[in-house]
A and B are shown apart, each in its own frame.
Chain A
Amino acid sequence: MAVIQFTLNGKAQSIDVDPEMPLLWAIRNTVGLKGTKYGCGMAMCGACTVHFNGQPTRSCSLPMSAVAGSSITTIEGISEDTTHAVQRAWIEEQVAQCGYCQSGQIMSAVALLKNNPNPSDADIDAAMAGNICRCGTYPRIRSAIKKAAQLTASAAK
């Protein structure tokens, strides 16, 4: 066990955990934020995507030893009231079905739009190909990302 300090959704965290424990389980079971999901445990499905120092990262494969001193953002940290442009677009386009993978999808989409405010279909496919959705919401994910880009652009005007 080791005391590991990091920033979680803008607040200082200090938890005593096995340094080998993946960030996913620390967030879910130690801190108790359950919005980030377990899907595959080997960074193949993206359900556990969080932002690690701003970069979309699979938390199931990131040991806590690597998290010390970093800044982590989870789905709970992107807005207080589901008003992030990506979340609004997700609801407008009625993306989710079962919803289990959507936290990860949204975290990948937020990161994409931060780097590329006006992504093409090819950009979207490239940035989102690491996130599996077994319900098959991909066509709506594509339109929601474009809608979020519009919402962000019109808010900036």
Chain B
Amino acid sequence: MTRWRVARLTKVRDENGTARTLVFDVPDWPGHLAGQHVDVKLTAGDGYSARRSYSLAGPEGVELTVQRVPDGEVSPYLTLDMEPGDELELRGPVGGWFVWRPDGPAPVLLVAGGAGIVPLMAMIRARRAAGADTPFRLVYAVRSPEQLCYTDELLRPDPGVSVSLAYTRRAPEGHPRPPGRLTAADLGPYGEADCYVCGPTGFVESAAALLVGLGHDPARIRTERFGPTGD
């Protein structure tokens, strides 16, 4: 059974103009698998509390990347106001389905929509940390270049990991793919793989359908959706 633990913020790192990575110190953290998430609970001075779920961004320790949602309730606090030394409550790790284990032999296809990159980045980092040679391919859809997270890390060569970016609204100058919705061409050609899809609900639905259309076995497509308001 999983209890609430006190987590103290130790470090913050801006990923872009609206996303921030928060590193927490959590005593007796039991460790986790790439893809798992935590539930966080924030309590105001008058007892009002709010809960949200966030994916763990790295293979070790408690590191969360939070996308600021305009007019959100929790994400503006986490991305703008919370300072090292501040505390919140946290429960986890949870979720044993949307996970990748470094001993998995099958090639992996990761499909991220926006902030859905976070648990998939955890898988890429876990692969690197374990020295695994499982072939990885990441297709990362974002609205515009300003929305990219982990840019430097993703563009740095990582043997066995191929990364392609799909801009849906606006691409940087010279980018070979014109901006537009994710298509089967972005995800193909078919190659046998364990697929992990994470993003907003609509994105996940359409990406999963594209994968099935390409010939992927639905039983090997694992999805994680964000709600309409992951605020």
A and B assemble together: no
Query: Chain A: residues with CB nearer than 8 A to chain B?
Result: none
Query: Chain B: residues with CB nearer than 8 A to chain A?
Result: none
